[in-house]
Structure formats: structure tokens, C-alpha cells
């Protein structure tokens, strides 16, 4: 068994950073649904802007809002306006084809692969 990429939101723009929240990443529920992320799922977030990588968990954001909000300590590392890739992984005994959601700068879906 290996951990393999299961789903990804590619080149999303961080719309908010809230240091005072307890922690996590808020993601528009439409984006979560299309990518296959579960609420509470552990995700890896990588900043294309700075190269920072961190793990956190998903909390639901308003459907259709395009919100990507870094919360808590993560907001010190990844700031509003940065471009990020959000990845979820799955334990599998065989290779899988990950679902990749491509978004524009407003975090609206432009393609799903």
C-alpha cells in the first residue's frame, strides 16, 4: 500500500488569511465537491508564490464564493493573494488517476481532468 495523489485543486488564489481562527483551510464547498475533498480531510497545501508547504484540514466555505482562506498559524505562512495547489492523498494498493480541478484567478472552475 502507498499514499498516492487522489485529488488536487490547481493554481487557486488565496482570498483570505485569518490568523485568529483555530486552524485549517476554508474551501468553497463547490470546489471541495468537484475535487472530491471531504470536510475534515487532511490536505497538503503548497504555495507556488513562496514554495511553503503545509498540512492542514478542510472546512467548508460558502458554495460558489471561490473562497480559499488560510486559517490560524497557516495564515502566517501562506498569505492572501498567493497562488496555491491543494492536494489530497489516498492509501491504495494500485496506481489511481487523480481528479484535478483547474481554476482561474477567481477560483472558478475552468477544467476538470
Which sequence spans correspond to the domains of the chain?
Answer: 2-112
Distances from the Cα of 44 to the Cα of 15, 59, 64, angstroms: 18, 14, 22
CB-CB contact of 25 with 68 (8 Å):
yes
Q: Which residues carry out catalysis?
A: 24, 57
| pLDDT tens for each residue of 24-57 | 999 999 999 999 999 999 999 999 999 999 999 9
Asked if pLDDT for residue 113 goes beyond 90, the answer is yes
Return d(Cα 111, Cα 60) in angstroms, integer.
21
The second-level CATH assignment, the architecture, of 2-112 is Beta Barrel (2.40)
Total-model pTM: 0.96
Band (22; pLDDT cuts 50, 70, 90): confident
Return d(Cα 80, Cα 67) in angstroms, integer.
11
State what percent of residues in the chain have pLDDT above 70: 100
Structure confidence at residue 23 (pLDDT): 78
Band (67; pLDDT cuts 50, 70, 90): very high
Return d(Cα 79, Cα 90) in angstroms, integer.
27
In 1-113, alpha helices (H): 29-35, 74-77
Amino acid at each position: 500500500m502507498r499514499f498516492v495523489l487522489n485529488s488536487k485543486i490547481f493554481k487557486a488564489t488565496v482570498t483570505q488569511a485569518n490568523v485568529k481562527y483555530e486552524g485549517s483551510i476554508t474551501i468553497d464547498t463547490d470546489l471541495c465537491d468537484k475535487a472530491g475533498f471531504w470536510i475534515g480531510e487532511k490536505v497538503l497545501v503548497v504555495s507556488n508564490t513562496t514554495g511553503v508547504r503545509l498540512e492542514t484540514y478542510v472546512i467548508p466555505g460558502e458554495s460558489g464564493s471561490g473562497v480559499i482562506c488560510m486559517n490560524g498559524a497557516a495564515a502566517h505562512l501562506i498569505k492572501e493573494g498567493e497562488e496555491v495547489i491543494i492536494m489530497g492523498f489516498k492509501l491504495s494498493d494500485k496506481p489511481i488517476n487523480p481528479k484535478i480541478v483547474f481554476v482561474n484567478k477567481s477560483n472558478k472552475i475552468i477544467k476538470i481532468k
